[in-house]
Structure 1
Amino acid sequence: MSAKPLCVELFVETSGTCEGLFVLFERALASGAQSLLVLAADANGFTPAQLDASLQALPLPVFGGIFPEIIAHGQNLKRGSLVCALPVKAQVHWIEHLSSPEYDYFPEVVALEAQIPKGASLVTLVDGLSKRITSLLENLYEVFGSRYRYLGGGAGSLSFVQQPCLISNQGLRMDCAQITALPLSVSLSIEHGWHKFAGPFIVTGAYDNTMTTLNYKPAFEVYREVVEEDSGQKFGVNNFFDLAKAYPFGLDRISGDVVVRDPLFRQGKALVCVGDVPINHIIYILKGDVDHLLEASRRCVQIIPADKLPLMALLFDCISRALFLQERFAEEINTIHQALPCGVPLVGGLSLGEIADGGNTCLELFNKTLVLGILSPIEQIP
C-alpha cells in the first residue's frame, strides 16, 4: 500500500478576533496536523494577555508571526488570521537579544547547529524592528553555510513601535529570532525590480540600522536633496514614509546587483532603516516604477515546477511594495497565485524585511523585495 501523499490544510478567518483564531486552532488540530504555521495581521491588535494561555496549551509545535498584512488564498488581508496545518513536525528554536549592542550570537548559533537535522529548510522569522538582525544572519550563515536553505522575514507593525510579534508555544515574543527547521525542501526566488538612481555614496557614519552620514554629510540632508528634487515634494513632519517608500537605498554587491534597504523614519539628521547598514559601504538611492516591480513578480514564478506538485508556496513580500503599488498590488499576488498548480496554497506575510540565501554566498536581509519559497517533500526536489 502506497503512503498517503502529504498535504497542507489552510484555515483562514477575517474577523481578526481572538475567538476566530481559537476556532482555527481547533480545526487545525482536528485535521491531524503535526505542526502549525500561524500568521496574523497587525490590525487584529493581539496581545500576550489575549493569546499566551491558548498558545501555551497547544500540544504541537507552533511558529509564525504578526505582520502588517498577511497573504491567504491569493489575497492580502489587512485583518484576520491564518493557520497552516502542516503534515510534518517542526523544530522551533530561538535566539534572543536581537537589539542588544554587545550580545554575541555566535556561541548560541554554534550550539544550535547540533540540533538542526541535516537537509532541513529553515523558516527564519525575526522581530523586524530589532536593530541587529543582519549581525545574527551573518553568524547564522558563518556556522550553517549553504548546507541549508533559508526563507523568512520580519514581523512587526507599521506603527514602528516594537511590540511582541512572533508566535510560539511560549506565547507572543519580541526582539528575537525564531528559527524553525522543517523536513521539507525549498526552491527560492528573490526579486525586487528597483534600479540605481543616485549615487554612489559612501556610508561614512552608521551604527546598527541607523545611517548618520553619507559622504561625511548628514544622511538625511543628502537623502532629502535627491528625493525632493526628483519628486517635486517636500519632507514634512508626518510624511517621511509616504515619500521615502518610492526611494529606497541599495547596498552595492560585487555581482552588480543591490540589496534594498528601506528607510523607515528620520531621527534628527540620521536615517533609521530596516536592517543593519555597514559603515564604509557603497550605497545608492534607488527608484522604481510599477511596471518594473510587477515584472519582478513574473520572474519569481519561474521557479514553480511544472511536473511536480509542491506542498505550499510561502511568500514574504515587503509591506512597502504594497504601499508603493497601491491598488495594483493585487496583480503581484495574483501573478504568483495563478502560476501555482491547482490546490497548492499560497500563504505569507507582508513583511518588514525579507530573509533568504542570496545564492550560496551569504544570508541576506532584503527590503522592498519578494522572497518566494516553494516547499515540497524532500524526495521531490533535491
Structure 2
Amino acid sequence: METHVADVAEDDIEQPILPLDGWHRAQGARMVDFAGYQMPIQYEGILAEHLWTRAHAGLFDVSHMGQLFLSGEGLDAALEALLPADVAGLKLGRMRYSLLLDESGGILDDLMLSRWADGVYIVVNGAVKHEDIGWLREYLPDEININHLEDRALLALQGPEAAAALARHVTGDHDLDALSFMTGGRYTIAGVDAWISRSGYTGEDGFEISIPAEAAEAVATLLTGEPEVKPIGLGARDSLRLEAGLPLYGHDLDPGTTPIAADLGFAISKRRREEGGFMGADRVLAELADGATLKRVGLFVDGRQPVREGAAVVDAEGSEVGRVTSGGHSPSLGRPIAMAYVPIASAVPGATIRVSQRGKLHDCTVTPMPFVPHNYRRKGAAK
C-alpha cells in the first residue's frame, strides 16, 4: 500500500543532519527548521551578529546549499540551452551569477557557476536543490554527468577582516589575497583540500569554502578561534543580504517572476542577449527591450515599524498594485527597509508609494539598492 506523508507521524520522518549540527549546539546556537534542516538562527543575538560581521568577520554555515559538479562532452553548450549566462566564456577559476529559468522565463532558482579544470561547479539554493537537480537531469543531454556533492560542507567567512583571518590558515598555488571578487581556486586548510572563492551573500568582502563534510568541524573551530571571527546565524545573514539589496529565492524570486522584473538583467550576458537560445529567452528578451510591468525596488519606510513580506503596495484608491517581498529593520542604518515589486512607473528613486500592512498604511520612498554599499574586493582595487 502506498504511504502518504500525511499518514506518517512527524517523529517517524528522519530529518537530515548537517555536518556542523552538534558544533552549532555546542556554541549555544538557537536552532530552527530551515530548508529541511535544523540550522542556527542566532548565537548571541541577530543585531550583535549583524554588526560584528559588518565590522569584523562572521562564519556562516551554508552547508544546506546544493553543491553540484557537472562534466561531460558538450557541457558548455548544454548549459547555455538552459541558462542565460555566457558559460563558454567562463575562464578557469572564474565565477558567474546566473538563473535557472522555466519555459516562460520564470525564475526556478538563482545560482553560482564556477569553472573547474574538468567541469563546472554550481551552487544552488538549499530549499529547491532537489527540484533543480531533477530539472537539470530532465533537460540536459544524457552525456552530461551531474554529481551532487552531498559529502561536502560549505562555509562562508564574511566581513572586512575575513581575509586576514583566513590567510593564516590556507596554503595554495597562489596567494589568497590575489583572489578578487568572483574568482576562486584550490587551497589547503586544516589539512584538507578546499575550493575557496571570494564571494558571499552579505555585501562584504569574504569567502565561501567548500570542504569535505568530515572536516567541517575542524575548519569551523580553527576559524572561530581567530579573534576577528564569530559564528553567525541565519537571522543576521538575512538582515545583511537585505541591506546589500540581494534577493532571496522563494521570497524575492520565484517562478512567477522574470529576471527583468527582478532587476537581474545583468545576469543575461551580452552574447546571450544577442543570440538568445536559452530557456525562456523569448519572454526575457522581449522584456529587456520593452520592460516588465513590475520591477523590484528598494524602499525606505517612514517611521519605526518595518513592513514585512506579503504586505500590499497600493494605489491612491487602495487597490493592490504590487507586493513587499522582504522587509525588516536595518541594523546598519537604524531604520526599516524593504524590497518590493512596484509598477514600473513608480520604480524610480524618490517616488513615494504606500504599503498596506494589517490595515495600516505606511508611506515609503523608492531608493536605490544596495542600501549599504558593497565592500567587495574588485579586481585592480587598492588594497
Q: So what's the TM-score if we normalise by structure 1?
A: 0.24
- Structure index of larger Rg: 2
Q: Which has the higher contact order (CA 8 A, sep 6+)?
A: 1
